[in-house]
Amino acid sequence: MPHPPTARDHPNARHHPTYRRLFTLPGTRAFTAGNLIARLPAGMSSVSAVVMIAGSRGSYALAGAVTATGLAATALVGPWTARLTDRHGQSRTALPATAVAVLGSLALVLCVHYDAPNWTLFTAYAATATTPNTGGLSRARWTHLLADDPESLHTANSFEQAADELCFMLGPALATLLCGTFFPEAGTVTGAVLLLTGMLVFTAQRATEPPPSPAPQGGSPLRAPGIPPLLAGFLATGAVFGSMEVATLAYANGSGHRAVGGAVLALQAAGSCAAGLAYGTLKPTGPAERRLAYCLSAMTALMSLPLLAAHTVGSLPALALALLLAGTATAPTMVTAMALVQHRTPDGRLNEGMSLTVTALLAGIACGSAAAGWTTDHTSPTAAFWLPVAAAAAALLTGVPRRPTAR
């Protein structure tokens, strides 16, 4: 394997950690392009499944339960896939895992299209649990390339979080557009094609791939100091995302604007994307734990805006503006928490450590989606907007670790 370029090979990246200079490192544009294609379905899958299942079966509770089951399965399978990635390398594990996930998505489409029993929907969607942690794979490459340049790594982490938000901004809108314009299964089919295509491009970039660690020296990331509270914070943050997604889609549907529900939801990701890009241009100061506490406090306060818009104003444009503002606290929170995870994860287990954060997020999204689906069906979509506020408060109370000792 050719020697991968690092920040040491490109000294300008160290002294000028800007987004433009990040991509002067050889190979970074190619792996980023492939990863973005593969990452876009992450913002499409849940919305596509909810629209497809709720439209064909007439139940948001069923749709929320199916997506929650798939996300919970991903939360269980993800760390094992990441551990294999750490030991055997990205190119040897990502493609087989992607193939299994694509087959699960196609099976779900067939079950919905041919009106199969409800239990088959749960089984098919659970098969998508092998979807690789595309964002984690990309962050692992940046961590490898910028190991000696923490300021540039902060900028790279901010870019990756903005890319996540961009996918969750475009994904729901694309999913609802495809499902509403063509046929209900179009969003899921398109997502499967994008995932496979992007992963083929990404894994072809061998020069920037981190070397495998067949025998990692560190112990499990779960036992690393500070990791458990961080995972608790990611769990609660996932519940924010899951409950807000279902509540917003149900609110838009109840208001007679089902076709624009995904676009309204995307504004939350748009606010987060803009805030993430701005955050990446700042030089981090002070302990990361303190910055995380500030970010979580801001997120808790701003998540009350959609609740106020739904309860007091009661209009979709007001909710859209509230979601845009609420999203501005999300990316800085995720960037700061992810940096702490990267710092505290033992050497040789970085993919596993980051996969555990995704596991916690997906578990939270699953719980939030199921809770919001139940609340929507048994009370109202407006009442479901209480759930993101409660989840954000839980993240603030549980998600900030103590100051770390020197590692």
Rounded to an integer, the average pLDDT of 181-201 is 91
What Rg, from alpha-carbon coordinates, does the chain have? 20
Mean pLDDT over all residues of the chain?
83
The whole-number pLDDT of residue 352 equals 81
Residues 6+ away with beta carbon under 8 Å from 214: 87, 88
The whole-number pLDDT of residue 405 equals 43
The two structure tokens encoding residue 110:
């067939």
Q: How far apart are the C-alpha atoms of 12 and 258, rounded to whole Å?
A: 49
Q: How far apart are the C-alpha atoms of 385 and 16, rounded to whole Å?
A: 42
Q: Is residue 62 over pLDDT 60?
A: yes
The whole-number pLDDT of residue 109 equals 92
Q: How confident is the model at residue 42 (pLDDT cuts 50, 70, 90)?
A: confident
What DSSP line would sit under 19-49, residue for residue?
Answer: HHHHTTSTTHHHHHHHHHHHHHHHHHHHHHH
Task: Give φ, ψ of 207 to 5 degrees.
Answer: -65, -30
The whole-number pLDDT of residue 11 equals 46
Q: How far apart are the C-alpha atoms of 180 and 177, rounded to whole Å?
A: 5
Rounded to an integer, the average pLDDT of 323-347 is 87
The whole-number pLDDT of residue 13 equals 41
Q: How far apart are the C-alpha atoms of 110 and 128, rounded to whole Å?
A: 14
Q: Is residue 21 over pLDDT 50?
A: yes
- Domain for residue 260, yes or no? yes
Rounded to a whole number of angstroms, the distance between the first and last alpha carbons of the chain is: 30
Q: Kindly report, residue by residue over 120-158, the tens digit of the pLDDT.
A: 999 999 999 898 888 888 988 988 888 778 788 888 888
The whole-number pLDDT of residue 258 equals 64
The two structure tokens encoding residue 237:
């943050």
- Domain for residue 8, yes or no? no
Q: Kindly report, residue by residue over 358-394, the tens digit of the pLDDT.
A: 888 878 887 898 898 888 888 887 888 999 999 999 9
- Domain for residue 216, yes or no? no
The whole-number pLDDT of residue 190 equals 94
Q: CA 5, 10, 15, 18: dihedral to nearest 10 degrees?
A: -70
pTM of the model: 0.76
Ramachandran area for residue 192 (φ above 0: left; ψ -120 to 50: alpha; else beta): alpha
- Domain for residue 245, yes or no? yes
Q: How far apart are the C-alpha atoms of 161 and 139, rounded to whole Å?
A: 10
Q: How confident is the model at residue 298 (pLDDT cuts 50, 70, 90)?
A: very high
- Domain for residue 215, yes or no? no
- Domain for residue 68, yes or no? yes
Of 101-105, 139-143, 242-246, 351-355, the one with minimum mean pLDDT is: 351-355
Q: Is residue 235 over pLDDT 50?
A: yes
The whole-number pLDDT of residue 217 equals 62
- Of 328, 235, 313, the C-alpha closest to 278 is 328
Q: How far apart are the C-alpha atoms of 301 and 308, rounded to whole Å?
A: 11
**Residues across the chain:** 407
- Of 399, 277, 388, the C-alpha closest to 337 is 399
Q: How confident is the model at residue 7 (pLDDT cuts 50, 70, 90)?
A: very low
Residue 291 sits in which domain range? 27-202+223-398
Q: How far apart are the C-alpha atoms of 352 and 147, rounded to whole Å?
A: 18
Long-range contact set of residues 141-146: C-beta below 8 Å, sequence gap at least 24: 141/28, 141/31, 141/208, 141/209, 141/210, 143/210, 143/342, 143/350, 144/4, 144/6, 144/208, 144/210, 144/211, 145/4, 145/5, 145/6, 145/7, 145/25, 145/28, 145/208, 146/6, 146/7, 146/13
Answer for the pair 210, 338: CB distance below 8 angstroms, yes or no. Answer: no
Cβ-in-10-Å burial (0-12, 13-18, 19+) of 312 comes to exposed
CATH number at residue 246: 1.20.1250.20
In degrees, rounded to 5, the angle at the alpha carbon of residue 379 between the alpha carbons of residues 69 and 297 is 70
Q: How far apart are the C-alpha atoms of 281 and 233, rounded to whole Å?
A: 25
For the chain, what is the domain count? Answer: 1
- Domain for residue 35, yes or no? yes
